[in-house]
Chains A and B, each alone.
Chain A
Amino acid sequence: MKGPLRVYVLAYLAFLYAPIALLPLFAFNNSTIIAFPLEAPTLRWFAELGHTPALGAALGNSLLIAVLASGFATLLALAAARAATGRTFPGRQGILAFLMLPLVLPEIVLAVSLLVVTVQVFGWPLSRWTIVAAHTLLALPFALAILRSAFDHLDPAIEEAAIDLGRTRFGAFSAVMLPVIWPGVLSALLVGFTISLDEFIVAFFLSGAEPTLPVYIWGLLRFPSRLPVVMALGTLLVLASLCLLVLAEILRRRSLARIGHRP
Chain B
Amino acid sequence: MSMVVVSDVSKRLGGASVLDDVSLDIPEGTFFSLLGPSGSGKTTLLRTIAGFETLDRGRIEIDGAPMDGVPAHKRPTNMVFQSYAIFPHLTVAGNVGFGLKAQRIGPTEASARIEAALSMVGLDRLADRPAHALSGGQRQRVALARALILEPKVLLLDEPLSALDRQLREEMRGQLRQLQRRVGITFLLVTHDQEEALTLSDRIAVMFDGRIAQHGTPEEIYRRPATRQVAEFIGLMRFLQGVAGPSGIEIEGLGRAAPVAGASGPVSVGLRPETLTLLGPGETAPHMAEGKISDRAYYGDMSYYDVALEGAESALMVAMKNRRNGDVLAPGTAVRIGWEPDAMVVFPA
- Asked whether A and B interact, the reply is yes
A residues contacting B by CB (< 8 A) are 155, 157-158, 160-168, 171, 175-176, 179-180, 182, 258-260
Is B132 within 8 A of A161, CB to CB? no
Interface hit among B72-80, B236-244, B276-284, B286-294: B72-80
Closest chain B residue, CB of each to CB of A259: B88
Is B85 within 8 A of A157, CB to CB? yes
Is B102 within 8 A of A165, CB to CB? yes
Could you say which residues of chain B place their CB within 8 Å of the CB of A158? 85-88
Closest 10 CB pairs of A and B: A260-B132, A166-B102, A165-B99, A157-B85, A161-B85, A259-B88, A179-B89, A157-B81, A158-B85, A164-B79
* Interface check B325, CB cutoff 8 A: no
- Distance in angstroms between the alpha carbons of A235 and B288 in the assembled complex: 97
Tell me how far the C-beta of A87 lies from the nearest C-beta in chain B, rounded to whole angstroms. Answer: 13
Could you say which residues of chain A place their CB within 8 Å of the CB of B50? 164
Is B85 within 8 A of A160, CB to CB? yes
Closest chain B residue, CB of each to CB of A161: B85
B residues contacting A by CB (< 8 A) are 50, 52, 72-74, 77-79, 81-89, 98-99, 101-103, 130-133, 146-147, 150
Could you say which residues of chain B place their CB within 8 Å of the CB of A162? 87, 98
Q: Among the listed B82, B88, B150, which residue makes an inter-chain contact with A260, where contact means beta carbons less than 8 Å apart?
A: B88
5 residue pairs of the A-B complex, CB under 8 angstroms, read A155-B85, A164-B72, A164-B79, A165-B99, A165-B102
Is A155 within 8 A of B99, CB to CB? no
Closest chain A residue, CB of each to CB of B131: A260
Given known contacts A160-B72, A260-B133, is B146 in contact with A165 (CB within 8 Å)?
yes
- Distance in angstroms between the alpha carbons of A179 and B147 in the assembled complex: 21
Could you say which residues of chain A place their CB within 8 Å of the CB of B79? 160-161, 164
Could you say which residues of chain A place their CB within 8 Å of the CB of B102? 165-167, 171
- Distance in angstroms between the alpha carbons of A155 and B85 in the assembled complex: 7
- Distance in angstroms between the alpha carbons of A166 and B98 in the assembled complex: 9
Is B87 within 8 A of A166, CB to CB? no
Could you say which residues of chain B place their CB within 8 Å of the CB of A155? 83, 85
Given known contacts A166-B73, A259-B132, A260-B133, is B89 in contact with A157 (CB within 8 Å)?
no
Could you say which residues of chain A place their CB within 8 Å of the CB of B85? 155, 157-158, 160-161
Closest chain B residue, CB of each to CB of A168: B73
Is B103 within 8 A of A166, CB to CB? yes
- Distance in angstroms between the alpha carbons of A154 and B244 in the assembled complex: 58
- Distance in angstroms between the alpha carbons of A162 and B72 in the assembled complex: 10
- Distance in angstroms between the alpha carbons of A167 and B263 in the assembled complex: 54
Could you say which residues of chain B place their CB within 8 Å of the CB of A165? 73, 78, 98-99, 102, 146-147, 150
- Distance in angstroms between the alpha carbons of A182 and B88 in the assembled complex: 12
- Distance in angstroms between the alpha carbons of A167 and B103 in the assembled complex: 9
Is A163 within 8 A of B72, CB to CB? yes
Tell me how far the C-beta of A173 lies from the nearest C-beta in chain B, rounded to whole angstroms. Answer: 13
